[in-house]
Structure 1
Amino acid sequence: MYSILLTIIYIAFISLGLPDSLVGAGWPVMHKDLDVPQSFAGIITMIIAIGTILSSLASERLTRRFGAGLVTAISVGLTATALFGFAFSDQFWMLCLWAIPYGVGAGAVDAALNNYVALHYAARHMNWLHSFWGVGASISPLIMSHALTSGMGWPGAYNIVSIIQAVLTAALLFTLPLWGKVNILRSKEHQLTEVNTDSQAVASQPPASGHVPLTKALKIPGVVLILTTFFAYCALESTSILWSSTYLVGARGVSAATAAAFASFFLIGITLGRFLAGIVADRIGDRNLIRGGFILVGVAGIMILLPLETNAVALTGLAIAGLGAAPIYPAIIHSTPTNFGRNNSQAIIGIQMASAYLGSTLMPPLFGIVSQWVGLWIFPVFVLVLAILGILFSERLNRRVDAQQAPIRI
């Protein structure tokens, strides 16, 4: 039962990644066909981001009422419908309209799935699942490329991905009874035994019951600390993805082809790093994965910053940054029930998703503005500052959680 449902969730994470890079992969052709400026891609991604943030914040109430399985199925179905709408859009305003369910579906399923896995599966699965997201994000540009070269055009790529999402929706609906059974069995296991050393505070807690309002969730001790940590990490990741190639060319004098290759190593490092982290996650624990990840990113930032005549160290640093970044996101999500309790985890993970999308939406444009004033050389400093911010706030949270869980001595 566990393995069947886990297989479905793995496929769902690939599905989560599929739409994320479709717009970027197809936009060079799409904006010409739609007769709009190239910069209008930002309008589409902003609408998607707003929908994702809002649905992430609402995910806790929806999941408590309808269950993670149904919310996931409906959200994937909503995304499939939006992608189908994209395929038949011949005006820019139509893309903007379909971008609303596109974002709403993505945010709800992301929060619901992440919380379900954090509650019911080991840390290794959280890392491997997020690496499967990277697989999906890597596949969709290939689908777009195939559609463009085969004569289907960019609508064909959206049709292909929408069909994949529709099939997954049917599979999710078919397996809905499994979600409840796994939920009951896992809850009993948590009451009988401690799942692992990172879950001692979680094991004795009852299953979630009752809505946790946003204002109440934000007042839980330590929530602001983890939101800041998550914001810093996602800002670091998205800024590196968008600007690392430009930095290598503009500040280091690397050729465009070499810069593009090594910039892709950051994403490859994230995907590979999550596979590797999954192997050791249960032994190392979420805290050490977060701590080690930020430290490794900091070391990589210093390697990129060093004013050496050779660019080999900077290029290697970029790949190492991807490896360091890999386990941070999954470990933050997986540690949420431990840090804040099973009853609060869905609400807090929803807020974390919103914080993540806020960081990845706002910070890359901010770096663009800063780099215009100061210069592209500021890129590794920017990464370093975000890494330091992330580890400082995550360590403050660890101290707070330890203090709350420490036994009272008389």
Structure 2
Amino acid sequence: MAGNVQHRAGKEGPIPVITATVVISFLSFFTLGLPDGLLGVAWPTVRGEFGQPVGAIAFLLASGSMGYLLSSTSIGRIIRRIGLANAIVGGSASIAMGLALIATAVSWWFILPGYFLIGFGGGLVDAGFNAYAADHFDATTMNWMHACFGIGATVGPSMMTFSLLRTGSWRPAYLVSSLFIVLVTALILRFRHRISGAAGGTRHPTEPVAPPAGHDLPASATADIDREGDLPAGRDPRWLSTWGGVAVFFLYTGIEVSTGQLGFTLLVEGRGVDPVRAGFWVSAFWLALTVGRILLGPLSHRVGSRRVLRGAFALAVTAALLLMLNLHPTLDGLSLALMGFALASIFPLMTLLTSERVGAARAHDVIGYQMGAATVGVVLLSGGGGVLAGRFGVALIGPYIFVLTLL
């Protein structure tokens, strides 16, 4: 339907057309960021209340990641079975239930299933809207959608800091977040027909276009297509692009979550920074991630997505080096903000380029694999960082993040 077109013809315009589906996707990604932003600041208090070591954060990340992995890697099949809109509604409801369970938890064993529900719902919402956006959004809208994740993750630490200062408890922040996501779920339910009606209705610009009537493709072109399809998996460029992209998502989330979740612990417990100031710098990390996505979306139209990505990788290494060197407390905080800006464009642009790399027919399934790899990266890399910090000291967090960026 015409009301569901979110981009200008040819996807060339840098300014997206705001419609109901765009607004819903933005709000949904905001809700994805909230839990991530809450945990980083809440963790020292949560683990103290339940008598857990620093490394126990790995169990929370693993629980959430198992739920995320289960839903995100199956997103193609889930969409075909129940529809995209229903999958997103169910995912949003699952996040709200998980947050409510955590807010009312009476023991550590209620926290773990709460994060499983958050992860499972997040996988449906994240992979679902990314699959939709890869077909319907341009680079700017895709970046802005992911910027809303950063806004949620920026609000999260501030909300948790406020909750701790005013009430002395981390629970109100989780409860308020749950109630807000209930409202977002109701909004998605109200407009779900817009998502269902638009799904699959817009051809991605990289999808092959049939030649005009009476004009066949050159024989050489069809021969190239046939030869590529006959290549062994390990030599097929599409196969290499698929698993190369999967590896990037694996590393990216390990770096992002390690920085966002362990940065507060590094500053407070490892370097003696005041908790309020450390909370500010963690918020600055997520804010820079958000601002970067807002600014770099239009920039990618001018200089190209691949150039933006190359610059982002180089800047991330620089930021991680500054964080590791521990030259000055203020510079440590600024390096967190710089890292957020560096990471801003990687996830959305890599997702947007998926269809171009692997073909439109395989894009939905491959996006699911990428989301799954992102989850495994959280478990193995970010969770592993927490375990190493608990065993060898939180000072190890800085060098650990730097090594990840070099990979």
TM-score normalised by structure 2 residue count: 0.76
SS of 2:202's partner is helix
Q: Which deviations, in whole Å up to 9, do the C-alpha atoms of 1:24-52 show, x marking residues without a partner?
A: 4445555566x543555543332112111
The Cα RMSD (Å) is 3.7
How much does 1:306 deviate?
7.0
* 1:179 aligned to which of 185, 190, 195: 195
How much does 1:311 deviate?
7.5
Whichever residue aligns with residue 334 of structure 1, its letter is: L
How much does 1:62 deviate?
0.3
Aligned to 1:229: 248
Whole-angstrom distance in 2 between the partners of 1:112 and 1:4: 16
Structure 1 residues 377 and 73, CA gap change in structure 2 (3 angstroms): closer
How much does 1:150 deviate?
6.1
1:276 corresponds to 2:291: no
Whole-angstrom distance in 2 between the partners of 1:305 and 1:141: 22
Structure 1 residues 170 and 239, CA gap change in structure 2 (3 angstroms): closer
TM-score normalised by structure 1 residue count: 0.75
Aligned to 1:351: 369
RCO comparison, higher one (Cα < 8 Å, 6+): 2
* 1:65 aligned to which of 81, 104, 121: 81
Residue correspondence of structure 1 range 1-400 to structure 2 within 5 A: 1-2=3-4, 3-30=19-46, 35-37=50-52, 39=54, 40-145=56-161, 154-183=170-199, 185-187=201-203, 190=204, 199=205, 201-202=206-207, 204=209, 220-244=239-263, 262=281, 264-302=283-321, 316-367=334-385, 376=395, 379=398, 382-383=400-401, 385-389=403-407
Whole-angstrom distance in 1 between the partners of 2:53 and 2:264: 19
SS of 1:222's partner is helix
Unaligned runs of 5+ in 1: 191-198, 206-214, 390-410
Structure 1 residues 92 and 108, CA gap change in structure 2 (3 angstroms): same
Q: Which deviations, in whole Å up to 9, do the C-alpha atoms of 1:264-287 show, x marking residues without a partner?
A: 543332121111112222333332
Structure 1 residues 144 and 238, CA gap change in structure 2 (3 angstroms): closer
Aligned to 1:405: none
Whole-angstrom distance in 1 between the partners of 2:109 and 2:316: 40
Structure 1 residues 25 and 311, CA gap change in structure 2 (3 angstroms): closer
1:294–1:388 CA contact under 8 A, matched in 2: no
Whole-angstrom distance in 1 between the partners of 2:85 and 2:188: 7
Structure 1 residues 218 and 15, CA gap change in structure 2 (3 angstroms): farther
Whole-angstrom distance in 1 between the partners of 2:266 and 2:169: 32
- How many residue pairs align between the two structures? 365
How much does 1:237 deviate?
2.0
SS of 1:202's partner is coil
Unaligned runs of 5+ in 2: 5-18, 211-232
SS of 1:104's partner is helix
Structure 1 residues 377 and 56, CA gap change in structure 2 (3 angstroms): closer
Larger deviation, residues 69-78 vs 295-304: 295-304
Q: Percent identity?
A: 27
Whole-angstrom distance in 1 between the partners of 2:302 and 2:52: 51
How much does 1:233 deviate?
1.9
How much does 1:96 deviate?
2.9
